[in-house]
Amino acid sequence: MPGAELLEIVLPPLAVGVMVALVHAPMGIEVLRRGIVFIDLAIAQIAGLSVVLVNTWRHEPDWLTTQTFAVAAAILAAFLFRWVERKLPREQEAVIGSCFILAASLALLVLADHPQGGEEIQHILSGQILFVSWPAFFSFLPIYLAGFTLWYWTEKTRTGLPFFLVFAIVVTSSVQLVGVYVVFASLILPALAVNRMEPRKDWKAVGCGVGAIVTGVTLSAFTDQPAGPMIVVTLVLTTIIVRTFGKTPDR
């Protein structure tokens, strides 16, 4: 494949990867601080389930219909998880993890007799970031810009219900662009990589996320391997390297 053609294919996925990493990395730090690691998997899977249901009920639904149902489902999950945080703080991780398993199981049941059920499940889990186009990027860009702005310029966004709502809306977009695996990995692994580092922890996590995702997308394009699993591998390797050789206060 000529270099110019390859670049034309890779640029939109790279732009999406950078966009996702910029918002996911700081949110992942907050998730790790709260000790609710399963929340990203749960909300991502709930959003994925809603997309599956919409596509099952309506043949080739338009973008707005899909987003409306997906965001509505994620917002309902956000309210539920905030209630659990307040009423059942000691059991919230168990409840959130159970919601993930339930949503995943329902998706499998809905797609059990679907002729393309296997492809749909694979799409939800590992995504198809290499097939993302510029129109898709620009369709989701306002959501990430809003999430990024609220996160850094409105301190209240990181507390209480606003955290769950903003997190849910961002993750709903991400699962459609990159899949559940990359959503989880891009939230938790950069945060884990810099967890013992101070100061500027947010931006160090962003650097880890961007570097790993760009590397994963590039390797996937050149080796013709699935992009989602490749990104997860590069995120894991980046986390191991940073945790092993990164400068921390106890060194």
Q: For position 113, what pLDDT does the model report? A: 80
Query: Residue 84: how many CA atoms within 13 Å on its side-chain side?
Result: 19
3-state helix, strand, coil in the chain (%, to 5): 85, 0, 15
Query: Residue 117: how many CA atoms within 13 Å on its side-chain side?
Result: 10
Average pLDDT value over all residues in the chain: 90
Quickly count: other Cβ atoms within 10 Å of residue 46's Cβ: 28
- Least confident range of 30-39, 55-64, 91-100: 55-64
Residue 182 has pLDDT above 80, yes or no: yes
- Least confident range of 116-120, 222-226, 247-251: 247-251
Share of the chain above pLDDT 90, in %: 67
Q: For position 5, what pLDDT does the model report? A: 65
Q: For position 9, what pLDDT does the model report? A: 81
Tell me how far the alpha carbon of residue 251 is from its chain's centroid: 32
- Least confident range of 4-18, 19-33, 83-97: 4-18
What tens digit of pLDDT does each residue of 109-154 get? 988 887 777 787 888 888 889 899 999 999 999 999 999 999 988 8
Smallest CA-to-CA distance from 190 within 212, 217, 164 is with 212
For residues 40 and 141, the answer to whether their CB atoms sit within 8 Å is no
C-alpha distances out from residue 50 to 26, 80, 157, 175, Å: 26, 16, 25, 11
For residues 172 and 47, the answer to whether their CB atoms sit within 8 Å is yes
Identify the three-state secondary structure at position 130. Answer: helix
The pair of three-digit structure tokens given for residue 214, joined into one six-digit string: 């760009």
**pLDDT confidence of 241, banded at 50, 70, 90?**
very high
**pLDDT confidence of 250, banded at 50, 70, 90?**
low
Q: For position 117, what pLDDT does the model report? A: 72
- pTM for the complete prediction? 0.90
Residue 211 has pLDDT above 70, yes or no: yes
The pair of three-digit structure tokens given for residue 31, joined into one six-digit string: 């998730």
Q: For position 199, what pLDDT does the model report? A: 80
Task: State how far the Cα of 193 lies from the Cα of 114, in Å rounded to an integer.
Answer: 40
Query: Residue 133: how many CA atoms within 13 Å on its side-chain side?
Result: 3
Mean pLDDT of 179-197: 94
Q: For position 148, what pLDDT does the model report? A: 93
Smallest CA-to-CA distance from 40 within 192, 191, 175 is with 175
- Supply the Cα-derived Rg of the chain in whole angstroms: 18
Q: For position 246, what pLDDT does the model report? A: 77
